């Protein structure tokens, strides 16, 4: 039978030899690193909800920067352009011209008066002249809507 209380001379000798071989002046490798969890895996709907929250936050920051730069949201700019165009067409008498001709073919509308009227409306809404021109150019001509700042000037 095996006696747990009895010491194994061979084992005691091996352990004593291992202890003697240790260099006590050199620190050991330290504790083993604990691996970090790879992250909580989200279910499909949870991951999609997280993406929507991230997108909403990104858009919120983008809208805030546009407001701080004096730029309006695209639907507001579009509404101003449409109102300016409608007013200009009315002043040109386009309704009567189209009624007489029976078609709109060949109708030419100068853009500068529409641009000018829309710019005035945007400035009345609080935009600077430069910001108003940039917003309109962005919507009508597809140019970037980036106002100059003091750092860029």
Identify the pLDDT of residue 68: 78
Identify the pLDDT of residue 1: 46
Cα 68 from Cα 88, distance rounded (Å)? 31
Sites in the chain below the pLDDT cut of 50:
1, 149-153
Identify the pLDDT of residue 46: 82
Identify the pLDDT of residue 103: 72
Cα 54 from Cα 49, distance rounded (Å)? 9
Identify the pLDDT of residue 119: 94
Helices and strands: H and E segment counts in the chain: 6, 0
Q: What pTM was computed for the model?
A: 0.53
Cα 116 from Cα 81, distance rounded (Å)? 10
Cα 127 from Cα 70, distance rounded (Å)? 5
């Amino acid at each position: 039978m095996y006696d747990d209380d009895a010491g194994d001379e061979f084992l005691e000798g091996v352990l004593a030899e291992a202890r003697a071989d240790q260099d006590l002046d050199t620190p050991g490798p330290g504790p083993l690193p604990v691996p970090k969890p790879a992250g909580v895996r989200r279910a499909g709907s949870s991951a999609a909800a997280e993406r929507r929250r991230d997108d909403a936050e990104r858009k919120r920051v983008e809208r805030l920067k546009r407001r701080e730069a004096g730029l309006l949201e695209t639907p507001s700019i579009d509404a101003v352009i449409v109102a300016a165009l409608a007013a200009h067409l009315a002043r040109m008498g386009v309704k009567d011209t189209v009624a007489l001709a029976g078609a709109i073919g060949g109708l030419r509308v100068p853009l500068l008066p529409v641009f000018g009227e829309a710019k005035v409306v945007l400035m009345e809404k609080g935009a600077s002249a430069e910001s108003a021109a940039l917003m309109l150019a962005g919507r009508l001509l597809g140019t970037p809507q980036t106002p100059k700042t003091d750092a860029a000037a």
